[in-house]
Structure 1
Amino acid sequence: MTELFVVRHGETITNAEHRINGSLTDKPLNKKGIQQAENLSKKINIDSFDEIYTSPLIRAKKTAQILSKGHQQIHLDDRLKEVNYGSWDGVVNRGLMEKYPDAFNVRHFVTESYTKYAINAEEYEHVYARISDFINDMAKKNDKRILVVCHGFISVAFFKVVTNVPSINNILQPDNLGVSKYLIDSNGESFLSYYGRLDHID
């Protein structure tokens, strides 16, 4: 089976300010985010991975560079970009929650109904489709260990696609540098091993 390790990028200033952090908000890691990535780099053996894939957004790419330690080529993949929140990208969460409470769940996570209000926003179903396509490609890797660096909602999307859980409202977004592990067989069937770990990465 292919082993897929999905990592959320390190913290950015927009994370710290509790802003909507989508694909249009292409900010670098802050000092804490860099330290988070460096901490994880000490907990994993990067040489045990056959390939590294990352979202091309700055925060994910920098995280991947820190984790790779220059040992491996990093493959950029647009399918791993964070969801495009359209006109909501970069906006402070609190103001949006006050104005559009039905677009957030009890954990203050943006629900799929947000597209009723955000202009030029990406539907969650489109995100699930691109992640499903990525997983199908990884199924052809024949027992390789693959490191994937992406984003908060993309991490949730991996969980949704693999487990087929009915609603993402019951899925917590991993912390920055949280790691999730999936197993994928050659037929494309996938399994969750663990979700959002910050230590004991194996």
Structure 2
Amino acid sequence: MMIYLVRHGQTDLNKKNVMQGVSDTPLNEEGLKQAYNVKEKIKNINFDICFSSPLKRTLDTAKIITDGKCNIVTNNLLIERDLGRFEKMPYDDYKKYDFWNLKENLNYNKVEPVKNVFKRAKKFLKEIKNSDYKTVLVVSHHAIIRALHFNIIGYDDSTSLLSFHPENGKIYKYEI
């Protein structure tokens, strides 16, 4: 199976370097351009299905990319990490906190533990591996794409998440 991971296009919060988490924010003008750019790059690929997070920025990115050529199925396993009280906090303020200490399963201020994100990614991959799909498009978010990446390459350790930084509107291709 070929799987193409795409991080949603840019939003105003991305542009301002503000943490989004599960806040449901739309694509901005640059994000729309990024989505159309991805569409152009993969226009000759016939996807069996597209899975997307249910959040607006991912779903809108998926709709632009697929252009009605395949079904889009939303899946809650693909939603971004819930950042709790850190939602909509400027990144410079946010990075002062230690909840990115990935050696511990920190869960305070209603922040989703990184290990849970990793488990969601693993569960999603197990579900699609048990399908008959040959070519799959997944449109999701920063943290979940990180977790999918490390699950796909077989590095089953959530402490590795910080070493891979998926960019807005970029394509990551894998064979699983």
* TM-score scaled by length of structure 1: 0.79
Cα distance in 2 for partners of 1:115, 1:161 equals 18
Flag the 1:117–1:168 CA change in 2: closer, same or farther, 3 A: same
Cα distance in 2 for partners of 1:52, 1:13 equals 25
Paired residue secondary structure (2:89): coil
Paired residue secondary structure (2:130): helix
Structure 1 residue runs without a partner (length 5+):
104-109, 185-202
Cα distance in 2 for partners of 1:26, 1:33 equals 14
Q: Corresponding residue for 2:160?
A: 168
| Amino acid aligned to 1:63 | T
Residue 96 of structure 1, CA deviation: 2.4
Residue 72 of structure 1, CA deviation: 2.0
Structure 2 residue runs without a partner (length 5+):
none
Flag the 1:46–1:137 CA change in 2: closer, same or farther, 3 A: farther
Cα distance in 1 for partners of 2:148, 2:37 equals 24
Q: Corresponding residue for 1:53?
A: 51
| Amino acid aligned to 2:128 | M
Cα distance in 2 for partners of 1:22, 1:14 equals 10
Paired residue secondary structure (2:50): strand
Flag the 1:96–1:66 CA change in 2: closer, same or farther, 3 A: same
Paired residue secondary structure (2:175): strand
2:38/2:170 contact within 8 Å kept: no
Q: Which stretches of structure 1, 4 residues or longer, exceed 4 Å deviation after superposition? A: 113-118
| Amino acid aligned to 2:90 | V
Residue 173 of structure 1, CA deviation: 1.1
Selected match of 2:114 from 109, 112, 124: 124
CA RMSD of aligned residues (A): 2.1
2:63 maps to 1:73: no
Selected match of 1:133 from 115, 123, 139: 123
Deviations, residues 7-55 of structure 1 (Å, cap 9, x unaligned): 10000011011111211x1100000000000111111126511111100
Selected match of 2:172 from 158, 171, 180: 180
Q: Corresponding residue for 2:3?
A: 4
Q: Corresponding residue for 1:18?
A: 17
Q: Corresponding residue for 1:91?
A: 89
Identity, % of aligned positions: 29
Structure with greater contact order relative to length (CA < 8 Å, sep ≥ 6):
2
Residue 182 of structure 1, CA deviation: 2.3
Aligned pair count reads: 174
Deviates further, 35-44 or 114-123: 114-123
2:21 maps to 1:30: no
2:147/2:161 contact within 8 Å kept: no
Q: Corresponding residue for 1:190?
A: none
